[in-house]
Amino acid sequence: MAATDTTAIPPQPGLLTRAPSPALVIGAIASVQFGSAIATTLFARIGPGGAVWLRLLFGTAILLALWRPHLRLREYTRHQLLLACLFGLVLGFMNLSFYSALHRIPLGIAVTLEFVGPLTVAVAGSRRRIDLLWVAIAAAGIIALTQGDTGHLNAVGVGLALLAGALWGTYIIVNARVGQAFSGGTGLALAMCVASLAILPFGIAQGGSQLLEPRSLALGAAIGLLSSAIPYSFEVEALRRIRPSVFGVLMSIEPAMAALAGFIVIGQGLSARTLLGMALVVVASVGAARRTSEAPIAV
């Protein structure tokens, strides 16, 4: 691999570069979860595939306008292009599997199950034995979610949420490298183009002509802004300055934010047992993050 392929490019000065990394991650969490809650209102009309594709389409348009990447492929190294393609495929199918899960199980539960991915990345990057305790607590939380009064959960939905979690863990690792290989949000914008093309067949198959209805387009634009453009931009910037393992544990409030968004936007209530399971996963993440400090990523 050529030396220029792995040389970190300093971020361009701007508001995001001055923002604290934890604030960027928390802002991304709130934005994406409220966007996901809004997306569920489109499922009956255009299906999860249609909602994902509109999200990616509008998110791509926003990011292309914001970052204005070179569209001539010869402007990039082979390593950069391969990285952008990989990132785009991970983005696209992570969102498709998550929205497909969201169509079958409540938002808060789907996000908690999906959170297995980031938590795995966090623990894998740690050398502390106490993290085994946090893994056990998280496992207890997941068991509480999938047993007892939530035993009626759709099995396909649970599987899709876990698949989304695996892709989310991959996203964290690849995202860190994209932030190092490209300046600004250029790599993200290119990856979003790839994601939009990859999910297009699923969007057309499920949404058809209803994708072009004014309501679908308006909500799709809002979802693209909230669930793609804002959080991905925040996360790319945050991952320039913190390790993927730190990022994974900073996501500890994700299940709680998802439950709040589901309750406010679509009125999804959760049982005491489900809330306990979610709380255990959050406690595990906070415990794993307690002694973790920020450090630059070595790619």
pLDDT, one tens digit per residue, over 102-156 is: 999 999 889 888 878 877 776 776 667 777 787 888 888 877 777 655 457 788 9
Rounded-to-integer distance, Cα 1 and Cα 193, Å? 25
Domain residue spans of the chain: 21-289
In this prediction the pTM is 0.80
**Tokens representing residue 237 in the block:** 């910037």
Rounded-to-integer distance, Cα 163 and Cα 180, Å? 26
Tracing tokens 């409220």 back to the chain, one arrives at 34
Specify the DSSP class assigned to residue 295. Answer: -
pLDDT value at 9 more than 80 = no
pLDDT, one tens digit per residue, over 12-69 is: 456 677 778 888 888 899 999 999 999 999 999 999 999 999 999 998 998 888 888 8
At a CB cut-off of 8 Å and minimum separation 6, what does 113 contact?
Answer: 101, 105, 142, 145, 146, 158, 161, 162, 165
Which of 253, 239, 243 minimizes the C-alpha distance to 115? 253
- Three-state SS letters, 254-283: HHHHHHHHHHHHHCCCCCHHHHHHHHHHHH
Q: Please report the pLDDT score of residue 45 as a whole number.
A: 93
Element (H, E) at 57: helix 43-67
pLDDT value at 8 more than 90 = no
